[in-house]
Amino acid sequence: MKLNSPNAWLLSASSLALAAFPLAAHAQDKPDSRDTIIVTGTLTPIAEEKLGQTITVISSELIEDQGYNFVPDVLRQAPGAAVSQMGAPGALTQVRIRGAEANHTLVLLDGIDISSPDQNETDFSTLTTAGLDRIEFLRGPQSGLYGSNALAGVVNLVSRREMDGHYINASAELGAFETMDIEASAGIGNGDAYASISLNHLASEGYDTSPDQTANGVPAVGVGAQAGDKEGTAITTINGRAGMKLSNELRVNGVVRYMTAKSELDGQAYGFPIAGRTYDDPSRTNQEQLVIGASATFDPWDGAWETVVSLSHVDASRRNLLTDFPFLVGPPVPSPADLLLVPTYTSGTDSSRFTAAIQSTYAFGDEGFASFLTGFAEHETETYEDAFSVRDEERALNAFGLQYRAEIASQLYLSATVRHDDNDQFQDVDTWSVSGAWSIPGTGTRLHTSAGTGVTNPTFIEQFGFDPSTFIGNADLVPEEALGWDAGVEQTLFDDKLTLDLTYFSSDLENEIYTAFLPGFLTTALNSDSDSDRSGWEVTVYADPTDDISLYGSYTKLDASEPAGIEIRRPEQTASLDASWNVFGGPVQLNLGVSYTGESTDTDFGTFMRTPIDPWTLVRFGASWQVSDTLEVYGRVENLLDEEYEEVIGYLGAPQGVYFGIRFREDTTK
């Protein structure tokens, strides 16, 4: 669908008007969610309306109703996020915030950095929504609080915890591409202690992501390759949480997460004889990750002085099986029979991250002028080893900082944060952020603004290279740095039944790390001498016109450019709509999800030129029936219009698929 087609303009217009509704930003069972307590963007939990930064809070209710099994599918509906997936579920999936790079997005699980330590980036294809209470999506430079990789924003996956009562959830779903999704979770607590666990297994046979049956007459490449093979995936995730109040002054919490993912891939050539085309081959990748975290909170003065000590460890392993294709050689052109004999090789990494942190908050003042002063310090050690044990590296970081928050006359909320990072492998950096929010009494109007700096450190591979030694490390790299700001106005109307937010943002990136080509087909990483500019508008709206109808949506207009031109995989326009209707208040609910991605560019690896990608619209429609208080059956159709599209050149997006499931839910928690 072209950008100037009637459907595209209708969707964009509806997104900006009554139908561009809010974001999954608000829990469906809370008409006024501005009082939602959030834990991202500040060192002490606060109500959402008190935060000056731009944040979207996506509830588990919306995720469940719309059938979003993967975190990146949820973020497609949020403003400022551009998702690019290399084909079927399980393939590399990246999220770019406000035109920044994918590794400028920091991903947290209950406050723990779960990015892969070897690449300092999270592959979103491994993140399912099972066991989440909500997703907090914070935009703008946040390194003043979170350090490296929070250059453009933060995605915080928040689990359910600290409950009084018990809950049991179980669901099973079957559908297109022989997909099976099984989830079970349970938790119990008495207000002083709690424990919860969730298990999720999602497997799919997938589909053939290559857009061509053959590439220049080559049907498949590599030993064991088959033409037309499907790219499937299997992801298993186990999450556990527990906490206990040991005394009136001391509380402890712990979290553990284990994830294993196996995905089949299509290869992509970068030269002769099938330049720039994807092809069927036996490529696959296996990933494992273990996350362990614990914290202790000491509060001797009933909230006046609180100290939190936390420890976390992330251990990650990645193994890739790839075809050893003879790129950039020829002629003579190898025959299809020759190409089926191309051998495979293994690559991969083992990496880890250990973090120890402490923060202490002193609260003083009164309701007319309340102040919160927090000091924090952090130590982080990362290790990296490649699959061939050629590289075994370690690096450390020590950081400390200070945050001040003020709440004035129950309407004006201010915050300022400064941080210093002492890096043992490259130059030290100082970052900061400031923000403000003003809820104007009696008007339903809230003004919000923020500014700050962000950094992203070089990855291990950029610093040290890898084997095979086609990529040469650069020990002289310096961190990437950005300066950004945003300002917006939120307006609530009709007794909180309609809320509209309009935000402008701008950011400037310097010292960007890019890949440079050297003689002999070698490459290395360098810091760019030029700057990249990103700016645009975000519109979010949510509406509850009746007790039975909820509407959510977003619209983003983005201008992301660098000296070479418009940056790749950053759509100029995106829009979304999520709608739910509890039919006449009865047991049947209808759900609609629409996601529009405007025109963008990508690199065509046949020519190494930036090439336009046509816009596309994905529509999903579902229905559920509440059979009893505890039992629900549901179904949905994804890509209802069976749109053919590519998020990344050379990799087909998912065709139309139908899914059915059953869900059991019992919840007595308060």
How far apart CA 575 and CA 597 sit, in angstroms, is: 7
Q: Which residue has the higher pLDDT, 88 or 176?
A: 176
| Bridge partners, 541 (sequence order) | 500, 553
For the ranges 42-51, 346-355, 448-457, the maximum mean pLDDT occurs at 448-457
Q: What does each C-alpha distance from 150 to 61, 539, 649 come to in angstroms?
A: 27, 22, 28
Q: What does each C-alpha distance from 136 to 80, 425, 560 come to in angstroms?
A: 13, 32, 24
Query: Torsions phi, psi of 99, nearest 5?
Result: 85, 5
Which of 180-189, 281-290, 551-560, 597-606 comes out lowest in average pLDDT? 597-606
pLDDT digits (tens, 9 = 90+) for 331-365: 666 777 877 888 888 888 999 999 999 999 999 99
Beta-sheet pairing, 284-298 with 250-264: antiparallel
Of 356, 372, 271, 283, give the one whose Cα is nearest residue 319: 283
- The CA-to-CA distance between both ends of the chain, in Å, stands at 47
Of 120, 3, 9, 22, give the one whose Cα is nearest residue 513: 120
pLDDT at 219: 74
Provide the residue type at 158 as one letter: V
Of 568, 650, 648, 613, give the one whose Cα is nearest residue 276: 650
Query: Could you tell me the domains of the chain?
Result: 6-667 (2.40.170.20)
Which of 25-29, 32-36, 45-49, 587-591 comes out lowest in average pLDDT? 25-29
How far apart CA 68 and CA 81 sit, in angstroms, is: 16
pLDDT digits (tens, 9 = 90+) for 53-78: 999 999 999 999 999 999 999 999 99
- Helix intervals (H) in 67-153: 71-75, 143-146
Our CA dihedral for 28, 29, 34, 36, rounded to 10 degrees, sits at -110
pLDDT at 469: 60
Structure tokens at 637: 């159709």
How far apart CA 665 and CA 404 sit, in angstroms, is: 42
Q: What does each C-alpha distance from 20 to 108, 268, 389 come to in angstroms?
A: 28, 37, 52
Q: Is 327 exposed, middle or buried (0-12, 13-18, 19+ CB in 10 A)?
A: middle
Cis (ω within 30 of 0) for the bond into 468? yes
Q: Global pTM? A: 0.91
| Bridge partners, 616 (sequence order) | 597
Place of tokens 């095979």: 468
How far apart CA 540 and CA 553 sit, in angstroms, is: 6
Residue 9 — very low, low, confident or very high, per pLDDT cuts 50/70/90? very low
Structure tokens at 413: 């909320």
Angle at 13 between CA 8 and CA 15, to 5 degrees: 95
pLDDT at 669 over 60: yes
Structure tokens at 157: 């996956």
> Are residues 534 and 559 in contact, defined by beta-carbon separation less than 8 angstroms?
yes
pLDDT at 273: 64
pLDDT at 18 over 50: no
